[in-house]
Amino acid sequence: MIELRHLRTLMALKESGSLAAAAKKRFVTQSALSHQIKELETRINSSLFVRKSKPLTFTHEGARLLHLAEQILPQVLATEYSLKQGLKGDEHNLALGIECHSCFRWLMPVIERFKEQVYDAQIDLSTRHLFDAIHALETGALDLVLTSDPVLGHNIAYQHLFDFEMKLVVSVDNPLAQASHVTPAQLAGVNLITYPVPLARLDIYKHFLEPAGVNPGPQKQCDLTSTLLQRVACNDGVAALPSWSIKEAYDLELATLNLGVDGLKRPLFGAYLQDTSKAHLIKRWLEQVTLQGQQQE
DNA sequence: TTCCGTGGCGCATCACTGTA
DNA sequence: TACAGTGATGCGCCACGGAA
């Protein structure tokens, strides 16, 4: 059976980029970690990552397990914490919703740092409300939402955190790969590889193609960034991603282009109820996110 | 030469089972 | 219920090979 220690090891591998560094992170010897991984690979009858690649690259199976780890570990941590807290109340717990599939990459370190600074704080990162996060905020299911699309007319405060740039990712074999930027017209009828999000909600459609009256080709959906990028590398289509996601491409042969001459910048906001009792905690958390955004630029 | 990953082996620990 | 025997598991140590 897949165990939590396996998921933690996968996260350590992803964060550190090598087996030896991951072993240090997990406080075991490199040999022990190697045994552990081999045992897991035997159990699932698949290899998890490509040996001797620098930084290491996950196989499809490894990426699936990594995705599972990213979903489960925050929930386990949050549950463990709330059980430890017992009846102490939840004034130090923040239920955080995100509308972005690729935010996990940089959010996990932010959560770790925040917990180091605010000793008794707990962030429960949720993807359950990807498509109705603002409604979940209003009903109290979430305390805070990270979003690029403010909705006017609600009792919700929006704090601008930072701007990020959407980039078009194409295979190096794609004719577009030689250009520095792409125009909407060049994407007419081109296959779009995206996360499982309706076309109308995609930044590239809402803020780039639709204003120009351009319709892309068929939309092909993937759950995982690594799978998505591999499909792009195979020239199965193109993808528009925040620049931080493209760092996952490792050694894939991809080219990145600006969307339009000036690029497509998008804002990231922290949204919370104006009369929340957790305003102080939320503001401290948003400071950390803003700091992370500045470091990524 | 150094670093990293792997395999073989042994030790410590734990859970399970049988017996008094 | 307590204790001993047994097997499974996890990990460390050591040696080795391959790549940079």
Strand B closer than 7 Å to the CB of A37?
yes
Q: How far is the CA of A263 from the C1' of B4 (A)?
A: 41
Residue after which a domain boundary falls, among A43, A63, A89:
A89
pTM of full prediction above 0.85: no
pLDDT band at A153 (very low <50, low <70, confident <90, very high): low
Of A43, A67, A89, the position where a domain reaches its end is: A89
Among candidate residues A243, A212, A214, the one with its CA nearest the CA of residue A229: A243
The separation, in Å, between residue A18 CA and nucleotide B17 C1' comes to 42
What's the CA A26/C1' C2 distance, rounded, in angstroms?
38
**pLDDT confidence of residue A168:** 94
Query: What secondary structure does DSSP assign to A60-123, as a single string?
Result: HHHHHHHHHHHHHHHHHHHHHHHHHHTTS-STTEEEEEES-GGGHHHHHHHHHHHHHHSTT-EE
Residue A247's pLDDT is what? 64
A 10 A CB-CB count for A47 gives: 14
Q: Which tokens go with A252?
A: 């894939």
For the stretch A191-240, pLDDT in tens is: 999 887 888 888 899 999 999 999 999 999 887 777 788 888 888 999 99
Amino acid at A64: R
Residue A182 pLDDT grade (very low, low, confident, very high; cuts 50, 70, 90): very high
> Do A169 and A212 lie in a common domain?
yes
What CATH number does the domain containing A113 carry?
Answer: 3.40.190.10
What one-letter code names the amino acid at A164?
Answer: F
DSSP H or E segment with residue A140:
none
Q: What span, in angstroms and rounded, lies between the C-alpha atoms of A63 and A269?
A: 29
Last residue of a domain, one of A39, A57, A89: A89
DSSP H or E stretch at residue A53: none
Note the Cα A43 to chain centre separation in Å.
Answer: 28
What's the pLDDT score for residue A208? Answer: 93
**Residue reference for tokens 């359950």:** A128
H-run or E-run covering A10: helix A4-16
Residue of A248 and A151 predicted with greater confidence? A151
Q: Which CATH number is A23's domain given? A: 1.10.10.10
CA A61, C1' B9: Å apart?
A: 31
Q: For strand B, list residues 52-71 of chain A whose Cβ lies within 7 Å of it.
A: 52, 56
